[in-house]
Amino acid sequence: MQEKRPNTIVVIALLILTAVTAFAAGFEASILAQGRRRAAYAPLPPLPSPTPATPVPLPSIPPTPTRPEEETFQIFWEAWGIIQENYYGDLPDMRTVTYGAIRGMLATLGDEYTSFIEPDIAAILNEDASGTFQGIGAFVRMRGDGKLEIVGVFEGSPAEAAGLQEGDLVIAVNGESIVGYSLYEAITLIRGPAGTEVTLTIERPKQGETFDVTVTRARLEIPMVQSEMLDGGIGYIRLHEFGATATEQLEETLRRVLAEQPRGLILDLRDDPGGWLSQAVQVADLFLGDGIILIQRSYEGEEVFRSYDGDLAEDIPLVVLVNGGTASASEIVAGAIQARGRGILIGERTLGKGSVQRPYRLSDGSELRVTIARWYTPNDVAIHGQGLIPDIEVPMPEEGESGGEDPQLERAIEYLLTGE
């Protein structure tokens, strides 16, 4: 009896043998199962019939439809199942794919102003739109060669204090090369809480030198307004954008300029891409007495935005400079001033963006800007796709041919001085 009973070693050996065999068999079975499936799409011979292959089941189970649209959406999973199984190149992460899907879905609306903004960029844009930010205080642009160029330094900013100049190239931040980064990636690295330090590696092409500079970040207000007293007693005010502090900054500037008793005022809205609707209304009100600024129509109905008596600059002769870069909130202000006969427009036809977007924060921090309304000038004219036509059209000479002249500004001065 004793001998016949299987001893422990034999049992264990048998178990191991079984386990190994089973594992191998399972592994092989999976290869077979997948191999069969693949054979249907084996590239050569690639297309056995005009309908070359049947759809691939997803590598894992797609979500069970919980909403009617997901039924329609199954075709998306089908397509991506095939891509995962067959695509030759590297696959992007699924977040990127989702963002691509959102953009593609929005593209079918045929409205270029309904747009999707990824979290990093949304954070910067929102900080900018608030009118203040925490950083070093420089205007930057991304050059074609992937280097970040400083195109301007705010007055009294840490950037200025550190000796940064227009034309400097930022090639690294805290030792991390940013060459080839996107504009917003670069900005994200440079910005940070006020009081903290950031070390920039600067290339200064003029002197052919590269050096490190440490800058202490601060909370800064984005300068949106620029002003100047021109010869002949003309006040000149340029508004760059309609951020959250635009009205406040403009009001302060107007007070200063008007104190010099100018005989006329030029409001330069050229290349001002707009901003907040509320700022457009408040800015327009500074120049307009009682009346309508704009009419907004949406599915929620019609809303009329008004201006009221009692502001700073309701009487002084006024010219607004506009061009093809004058858009949105700028067009609201220029359109109201023109339609109400408060002043004239000089320059070129404006962009023609007569729609209003509402920003929505999505759960992952990205932002969706959706067109929710159209707006109309006080005399109920739609400018969408049309733009505003200046009372006096003055083209700008091609870049390089101008020699620094500004015929539009000159025409505005002439108009204010001569009345025609």
Partner 1 sequence: MNHGMSEDRQLSDRNTNTEPTSDRQAALFGSLVLVLVFLLFFAGGFATHRMLNRRSVVTAAAWPMTVFWEAWDIVEQDFYGEVPPPKVRVYGAIRGSLAVLNDPYTVFLEPQTGEVERDRLSGSYGGIGVDIWRDSEDRIVLNPYPGSPAEVAGVRAGDFLLAVDGHSVLTATVDEVRARLHGEVGTPVVLTLSRPPTPTHPFVLTIVRQEIQVPSVSYRLLDQDPSIGYLQITSFTERTPQEVEEALRSLLDGGATRLILDLRDNGGGLIQPAVDVGDQFLDGGIILYEVRRGRQERAFRARRGGLATEPPLVVLVNGSTASASEMIAGSLQVQGRATLIGEPTYGKGSVQLIFTLSDGSSLHVTSAIWLLPDHRPLPETGLTPDIRVSPGEGLGDAQLDRAIRYLQRGE
84 binds partner 1 (CB under 8 A): yes
184 binds partner 1 (CB under 8 A): no
Number of chain positions touching partner 1 (CB under 8 A): 100
3-state secondary structure of 415: helix
> Using CA atoms, how far apart are residues 241 and 326, in angstroms rounded to an integer?
10
- Indicate the residue among 108 and 261 with the shorter CB distance to partner 1: 108
Residues 309-348 that bind partner 1 (CB under 8 A): none
Q: Determine how many CB atoms are found less than 10 A away from the CB of residue 350.
A: 27
**Is the separation of the CB atoms in 334 and 283 below 8 Å?**
no
Task: For the CB of residue 300, give the shortest distance to partner 1 in the complex, in Å.
Answer: 9
Q: Sketch the per residue contact string, 221 through 240, with partner 1: x for CB under 8 A, - otherwise.
A: --------------------
Residue 47 to residues 43, 51, 129, 256, Cα–Cα distance (Å):
8, 8, 54, 76
Task: For the CB of residue 381, give the shortest distance to partner 1 in the complex, in Å.
Answer: 18
Give which of 340, 375, 314 is closest to 113, Cα–Cα: 375
> Using CA atoms, how far apart are residues 369 and 59, in angstroms rounded to an integer?
34
Task: For the CB of residue 180, give the shortest distance to partner 1 in the complex, in Å.
Answer: 16
63-71, 164-172, 250-258, 277-285 -> range binding partner 1 (CB under 8 A): 63-71
- Indicate the residue among 48 and 397 with the shorter CB distance to partner 1: 48
Residues 111-140 that bind partner 1 (CB under 8 A): 111, 114, 116
**Is the separation of the CB atoms in 213 and 163 below 8 Å?**
yes
Residue 342 to residues 122, 278, 338, Cα–Cα distance (Å):
37, 20, 6
Q: Which residues are catalytic?
A: 328, 353
In sequence order, which residues have a C-beta less than 8 Å from that of residue 50 and are 6 or more positions away? none
Backbone φ, ψ for residue 108 (5° rounding): -70, -10
- Indicate the residue among 63 and 403 with the shorter CB distance to partner 1: 63
2 binds partner 1 (CB under 8 A): no
Q: At what angle do helices 277-287 and 329-339 cross, to 10 degrees?
A: 30
Q: Sketch the per residue contact string, 7 through 26, with partner 1: x for CB under 8 A, - otherwise.
A: -x--xx-xx--xxxxxxxxx
> Using CA atoms, how far apart are residues 339 and 377, in angstroms rounded to an integer?
7
- Indicate the residue among 85 and 391 with the shorter CB distance to partner 1: 85
Taking the CA atoms of residue 347, residue 349, residue 350 and residue 354 in that order, the dihedral angle to the nearest 10 degrees is 150
87 binds partner 1 (CB under 8 A): yes
- Indicate the residue among 16 and 304 with the shorter CB distance to partner 1: 16
- Indicate the residue among 34 and 214 with the shorter CB distance to partner 1: 34
43 binds partner 1 (CB under 8 A): yes
Q: Sketch the per residue contact string, 357 through 396, with partner 1: x for CB under 8 A, - otherwise.
A: -x-x-xxx-x-x-xxxxx----------------------
Q: Positive or negative, the Cα torsion across 182, 186, 187, 188?
A: positive
Among 13, 37, 104, 381, binds partner 1 (CB under 8 A): 104
Among 7, 13, 37, 55, binds partner 1 (CB under 8 A): 55
**Is the separation of the CB atoms in 298 and 373 below 8 Å?**
yes
50 binds partner 1 (CB under 8 A): yes
Among 299, 301, 418, 419, binds partner 1 (CB under 8 A): 299
Tokens of 349: 């036809």
